[in-house]
């Protein structure tokens, strides 16, 4: 197998390959770009015009999607997969991956869309590098652009596998991309209603890609992901890589769509979140429920029918989001 197919092995060891470009016997090219970054170019005459960016390890302890990308890249390097798309494989936070930690100093997925300019430290530098890698990869004109940023969650979830769809004013949501997510086993999609500072929000709003953050189960250490079933997602990614998904019907099936109702922002150390520590994502909350309090006059009371909570985390730094209230989406603008 080509050495560049062992990107995960190289990344965890902190090694740089001697050969930066390698070819499979069929002519697929693998090119080392930077630590944790390999670009795959189809053999001559096979390119179907898609640019597909697959990232994982933005949080270093979310290992199931890292192992999935490793398996796909190894398949390409062994010629078991014959790409028709250009692909950029990215491991987002190599040092955090090596330590088995979520991050080193700060959450890298809150440092995109220029936010890294306001900070120092390894994650700020890496976020800047990732933006440059993505911008270069998505710079070729007249090509379709798709980015999946793969994650697992800190806690369990009533809906185990779901996606977050970034926002850009005036831009409709893609029915085709929602259908692709449905085919990949994604059960629900959260439609954001304002700009964000995540990696997928950057590629969506600044680079014109269709982009999604995928939450794929609960975070576990390397080698302990037997309970995270990514089989449908892996098959769909193989189809995208090999250009076999042109026959998708566009049907959304049982895919559930949610909209952000409110974000719960932690303003001070006095913040209290009135939920059990082990509450699961997408847990339903009754109307009238006192969700959170902060300082004397700030209270979050649930008044939305059908409200659910995702990403509750009272331990975030002051000024950051401590949870999101979501409701079933209505009147979604699809194209």
Catalytic residue among 160, 210, 215, 280: 215
142: annotated active-site residue: no
| 222 backbone dihedrals φ, ψ, rounded to 5° | -55, 140
Which helix (H) or strand (E) segment holds residue 262: the answer is strand 256-265
Are 331 and 309 in contact by the 8 Å Cβ rule? The answer is no
The CA distances from residue 104 to 54, 69, 124, 127, 188, in Å, are 22, 22, 11, 13, 30
Alpha helices (H) along 208-261: 231-242
62 assigned to a ligand binding site: yes
Across-strand partners of 165? 191
How far is C-alpha 275 from the geometric centre of its chain's CA atoms? 26
Across-strand partners of 218? 153
| 36 backbone dihedrals φ, ψ, rounded to 5° | 75, 15
Residue tagged 């559930």 (tokens): 256
Longest alpha-carbon distance in the chain: 68
59 assigned to a ligand binding site: yes
Q: Are strands 86-91 and 37-41 parallel, antiparallel or unpaired?
A: antiparallel
With CA atoms as reference, report the closest residue to 127 among 144, 145, 109, 140: 109
Separation between Cα atoms, residue 24 and residue 82, nearest integer Å: 10
80 assigned to a ligand binding site: no
Are 158 and 282 in contact by the 8 Å Cβ rule? The answer is yes
**Residues classed as catalytic:** 215
Residues contributing to the annotated binding site: 59, 62, 151
Which residues contribute to the annotated binding site for Zn(2+)? 59, 62, 151
């Amino acid at each position: 197998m080509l050495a560049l197919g062992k990107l995960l092995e190289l990344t965890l060891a902190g090694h740089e390959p001697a050969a930066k470009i390698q070819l499979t016997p069929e002519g697929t090219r693998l090119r080392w770009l930077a630590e944790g970054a390999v670009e795959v170019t189809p053999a001559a005459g096979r390119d179907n015009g898609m640019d597909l960016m697959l990232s994982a390890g933005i949080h270093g302890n979310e290992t199931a999607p890292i192992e999935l990308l490793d398996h796909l890249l190894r398949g390409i390097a062994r010629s078991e997969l014959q790409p028709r798309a250009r692909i950029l494989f990215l491991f987002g936070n190599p040092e955090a991956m090596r330590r088995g930690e979520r991050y080193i100093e700060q959450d890298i997925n809150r440092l995109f869309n220029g936010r890294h300019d306001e900070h120092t430290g390894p994650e700020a530098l890496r976020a800047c590098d990732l933006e440059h890698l993505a911008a270069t990869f998505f710079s070729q004109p007249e090509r379709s652009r798709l980015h999946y940023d793969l994650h697992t969650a800190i806690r369990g979830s009533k809906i185990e596998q779901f996606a977050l769809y970034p926002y850009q004013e005036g831009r409709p949501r893609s029915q085709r991309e929602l259908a692709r997510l449905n085919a990949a086993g994604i059960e629900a999609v959260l439609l954001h209603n304002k700009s964000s500072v995540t990696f997928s929000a950057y590629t969506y709003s600044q680079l014109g890609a269709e982009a999604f953050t995928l939450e794929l189960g609960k975070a576990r250490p390397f080698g302990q992901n037997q309970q995270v079933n990514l089989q449908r997602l892996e098959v769909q990614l193989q189809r995208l890589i090999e250009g076999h998904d042109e026959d998708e019907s566009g049907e959304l099936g049982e895919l559930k769509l949610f909209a952000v109702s409110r974000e719960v922002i932690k303003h001070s150390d006095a913040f209290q979140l009135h939920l059990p520590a082990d509450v699961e994502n997408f847990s339903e909350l009754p109307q009238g429920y006192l969700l959170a309090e902060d300082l004397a006059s700030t209270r979050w009371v649930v008044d939305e029918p059908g409200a659910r909570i995702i990403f509750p985390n009272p331990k975030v730094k002051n000024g950051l989001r401590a949870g999101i209230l979501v409701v079933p989406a209505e009147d979604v603008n699809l194209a």
